[in-house]
Amino acid sequence: MSVAQLELVHPAPLPLQHQVSEPRPEHAVIARFINIGARVLDVGCGDGALMQLLERERDARVRGVELDPAKAQYCVTRRLSVVQADADHDLEHFPSGSVDYVVFSHTLLSLRDPQQALKTAARVGDRVIVAFKNAGHWRTRLRFAREGRLANWRPEAMCSVRDFAELARSLRLSIERAVPVSGQHAGAPFAKTLWRPNWFAEQAVFLLTP
């Protein structure tokens, strides 16, 4: 797929019903990380909820990449600029420095090569934002110790806060900010002291700078 093909998706001229609901807590953290009017690429945008939040709250210029054709089409009917593509292969077609932020909201660790995707995102965007479920949370540790396995195992569940921090640093990415999320609440930002969020955060959101 060429860059030209990636630019072909445009919002459909269909009526949009604005149903504003309380954003997911990690989405609210991501929105706080993003500057007003920024250019954003949402990788694995799903139903477009984060895209709509960033357009509404941050006046951002957002494009999405979504593998599922039904979800991509749903986003287009909501007047969101989304392309149906495979991030594992097609992210590399975006030009260097073409956006201010590349966002992976619970999508990076489900890709076939998360490390390469993160490296590519750091080339495409000035900053990279990653939200993921923390496999180091104490309940997950307790469940594993008790049962010897992780129930409802998913690839994106298998990364702790400390694991991700070490991955980022191995790629020479600076942790500009990081925020733990538990339940519906974001905690105090952290960057260097990892033990507390590694044990107690259900999710974490990292803002990385190449």
- The pLDDT tens digits of the residues spanning 166-197 come to 999 999 999 999 999 988 888 888 866 787 88
Amino acid identity for residue 70 in this structure: A
CATH number for the region 20-209 comes to 3.40.50.150
Global confidence as pTM:
0.83
Q: Over 80: is that where the pLDDT of 105 sits?
A: yes
Q: What angle do CA 89, 158, 53 make, to 5 degrees?
A: 65
Q: Cβ neighbours of residue 131 under 8 Å, at least 6 residues apart?
A: 26, 29, 30, 104, 105, 106, 181, 203, 204, 205, 206
Burial 23-45 (b: 16+ CB within 10 A, else e): bbbbbbbbbebbeeebbbbbbbb
Q: What is the mean pLDDT of the chain?
A: 84
Quote the pLDDT of residue 122.
97
CB 101 within 8 A of CB 40: yes
Please tell me the distance from the alpha carbon of residue 122 to that of residue 206, in angstroms, as a whole number: 13
Q: Over 90: is that where the pLDDT of 15 sits?
A: no
Rg over CA atoms, the chain: 17
CB 33 within 8 A of CB 205: yes
Strand partners, 133: 203
Quote the pLDDT of residue 167.
92
Q: List, in sequence order, the alpha helices (H) in the chain.
A: 3-6, 25-33, 49-58, 69-77, 87-90, 114-124, 138-147, 161-170, 195-200
Share of the chain above pLDDT 70, in %: 78
Strand partners, 205: 131, 179
Q: How far is CA 47 from CA 2, 52, 61, 65, in A?
A: 24, 10, 17, 11
| Helix axes 114-124 and 161-170, enclosed angle (nearest 10) | 60
